[in-house]
Structure 1
Amino acid sequence: MEQHKDFIWAVGIEDTFVTQVEKGERPLDEYALTQHYELWKEDLELARESGARMIRYGIPWYKVEKKEGAYDWEWVDEVMEYFHNHTDLIPIIDLMHYGTPHWLKNEFSNGRYPECVAAYAAAFTKRYSHIVKYYTPLNEPYVNAEFCGLNGVWPPYHTGLQGFYHMIMQLGKGIIKTIKAIQSIDKDAVMVHVDATKKYFTYDEELQPEVDIWNENRFVMWELLSGRVNDGHPLYNLMLQYGLTIEQLKWFQEHHCSFDIVGINYYPQFSVHEVKRDKKGYIIYPHVLGTGEELKDIIREAVSRYNTPIMITETSFRGSEEERVDWLKESVEACFSIRKEGIELLGYTWFPFFDLVDWEYRTSGKSAEEELMPFGLYTLKMNDKGQMIRKENRAGRKFKELVKRTKLN
């Protein structure tokens, strides 16, 4: 493993914040549900003990800016001071992880969203640029647009491809304005552009055009941000067909950004889709279990498009401890294998560090404990005092072993 001494091991704490509710819904704040607001120091200590050099860490915008332009940094100050005092754990700050403040009516559809999120980013950077150098302007724009714009699950509850591309356009503008706001304060800030990745395939030759367009659409935000969606692009006419205008797409060509690091989020249970027809003849896109080979294919495709350093910014497996250990070994081996091809893969992030509360909590009516999902290196369990206990599991021990092995060799 000598060639992997420079490999960055990282973890991330699930930090979804979707707190606006309609009838029958509950706020989804993972920090609150997993008691991270109270146990943040313990959690960061455990992250350091794991051997991780970096941690993906989110800021709850809706709590920080409860009134527009008025920022409450009290809790964030404590966490940032910890990072300042423990430089062996470097934060990659998730400025946006799905949710907006309550005063921003219509959420991501609000025409002022791009300016508002950039103002928040500027306020954060002014306060913490002496501590923070790595930023994710917005986590997983594809999933954000999918849940808020395609499937209507989260506010502003839009549906269909028209809703999806409207969200992509709004989120993309927010990302570009966020980057400019941060760089106007700290020109050395590093942008880690994180998105969910997909791979589509089919056994039906007639459906290959459908596969091709979805394999292009999986890169839509990176393509848009880099100014590539012009009248010769495979997605150009589709985006116009579903509501975007020539002027909107031209804006991205004129205000495009470059990438410091492309962050790939890959989950074997969610990232690979077979395209086929159901019994009634409708095209469907069911998940199939992905492998390390599909992960390598996605990395190669991203490198060929953007010629930029890559980092695995999320991966894990929902299942037993044994299944998580198996995926940890398979996915890390895929990373080491791709590095031997000469690809600049910087590192690997197990996400989430400890179990998360299923997003279905918003509507299920079940308790947070009942909705715990077995993803983490640490297992969460509620004790009789109502405290969420963190207990290292076999996957956590294996992660430590792998980190130690690369450091020793």
Structure 2
Amino acid sequence: MSRWYDDGRLHFGLGIEDTFVPQERPGERAIDEYALTDHDELVESDLALAASVGAEFLRWGIPWYRVNPEPGRFDWQWLDRAIDAFEASGVRPVIDLLHYGTPLWLDEQFAHPDYPARVAEYAHAVAARYAGRVSDYTPVNEPMIHALFSGEYAYWPPYRSGAAGLVELTGALARGFVLTQRAVADALGDRAVFVHVDATLRYAGDVDAPEHRETAARLTRQAFLVEDLVTGGVGPAHPLAGLLAEHGLGDDGLAWFAENAVQPDVMGVNYYPRHSTELFEAGVHHGGGFADPRPTLDDGTAGLVASLSTYAERYGAPVMLTETCVTGSVAERCAWLDDSVAALRRAKEDGLPLVGYTWWPLFDMYEWTYRHSDRPRADHLLTMGLFDLVENPDGPLIRRRNPVADRFAALAAEAAAAPAPAPTTED
């Protein structure tokens, strides 16, 4: 069946940062990017902004904790309003069902034994309610980042750490991912489009130094672990099967994933040139994670094309750049926009099955360090968007258009006006 992205064009879209971690504890406050950016108040005008710069689609997430405030109960009022706004704008929603964070009533969050069933229940309820209006879903945004932050680094709930925590939450998130996709498919049938999305995690530098070789090899394999699990690609011979079995995900668990495998219609890749490639240095110990971060290497467009090519080959699906930007001046953002689009156009001409380009985000966002701070939101502003966020003492944050928006609009219009490539024929 033909999909909206099957016409051979490069489709341009945007995202709105949608991280939700509503749990609090001493020294950590809830983070809800929709509340921080006033998107919850300005959803209609924000979607109109996306349309105004020519975005064909918008990656946008649902705050599960708001929509499902009690077990088995759903509050659709605000989400109905948002879906109405999508229809009014003409921008296609690509819905993140889980962009971090679980409802407050789900004790132990991803580690709760009912998590996979609960997230699938929520996904089915959403898909059924908006059947005929929304067809494109991302079951879990960046599941390996979920697993790392919540399962290895003890940075987010449920604050597991080490290899045991990583395997526990990798397994739980992957099982929830599978059940979520199956629930949406049950509601929508063959109308459903699944855009799997994960973060680029690359490693460079002295990766073969004796003190780094084993860690670098494990991290490189681990970057794909959730997607490998959900697509049925982890068997007893997988390089990480021993690590999984050691911490409770053995042959029976792997067999369940193989029997219930789900596939992406589009494989989404998030790539940030200044952050996606971590650098090992000979003779220097860096544990990784937030407590002991490794330095990063700006691998530019070479890293971008290599990442997309790797995912396309590994999963046999068309790929989409689902997040990219640089945090910096308007000039720096425009330069990366131009360079990255040019590089992907060349890669597409050379045969990369690329269907979409996503600048993230539409407007500025607030850094996740806000959660671990008592400072005002303005101290955590990240200049990333096509629209600046400007403090307003008299009401919600003002969206101020900047030249990145003009450049994005020009590129999107150029892509929309280009004739669709002629279909290829096989001899």
Same fold (TM over 0.5): yes
Distance 2:101 2:39 in 1: 17
Partner of 1:147: 149
Cα deviation 1:82-123 (Å, max 9, x = unaligned): 22344x310001111101001111000001000000000111
What's the offset of the Cα at 1:282?
A: 7.4
1:31-180 mapped onto 2 (5 Å cutoff): 31-86=34-89, 88-180=90-182
3-state SS in 2 of match to 1:182 = helix
- The answer as to whether partners of 1:143 and 1:196 remain within 8 angstroms in 2 is yes
Moved more, 382-391 or 18-27: 382-391
Q: TM-score of the superposition, structure 1-length normalised?
A: 0.95
Identity across the alignment (%): 38
3-state SS in 2 of match to 1:11 = strand
Distance 2:274 2:377 in 1: 22
1:203 aligns with 2:206: yes
What's the offset of the Cα at 1:269?
A: 1.7
- The answer as to whether partners of 2:13 and 2:59 remain within 8 angstroms in 1 is yes
Distance 1:70 1:178 in 2: 18
What's the offset of the Cα at 1:279?
A: 4.4
Unaligned runs of 5+ residues in structure 2 are: 1-6, 419-427
1:10 aligns with 2:3: no
3-state SS in 1 of match to 2:80 = helix
Distance 2:197 2:402 in 1: 27
What's the offset of the Cα at 1:243?
A: 4.1
For the aligned residue pairs, the C-alpha RMSD in angstroms reads 1.8
What's the offset of the Cα at 1:81?
A: 1.6
1:299 aligns with 2:304: no
Distance 1:145 1:306 in 2: 20
AA aligned opposite 2:132: H
Partner of 1:236: 241
Distance 1:178 1:204, change over 3 A: closer
Distance 1:210 1:286 in 2: 15
Partner of 1:276: 281
Moved more, 103-112 or 229-238: 229-238
Cα deviation 1:249-272 (Å, max 9, x = unaligned): 222122111211100000112110
Counterpart of 1:214 (choices 210, 216, 219) is: 219
- The answer as to whether partners of 1:202 and 1:208 remain within 8 angstroms in 2 is no
Partner of 1:262: 267
Distance 2:37 2:286 in 1: 43
Distance 1:71 1:362 in 2: 26
AA aligned opposite 1:273: E
Partner of 2:358: 349
Unaligned runs of 5+ residues in structure 1 are: none
- The answer as to whether partners of 2:322 and 2:358 remain within 8 angstroms in 1 is yes
1:363 aligns with 2:368: no
3-state SS in 2 of match to 1:288 = coil
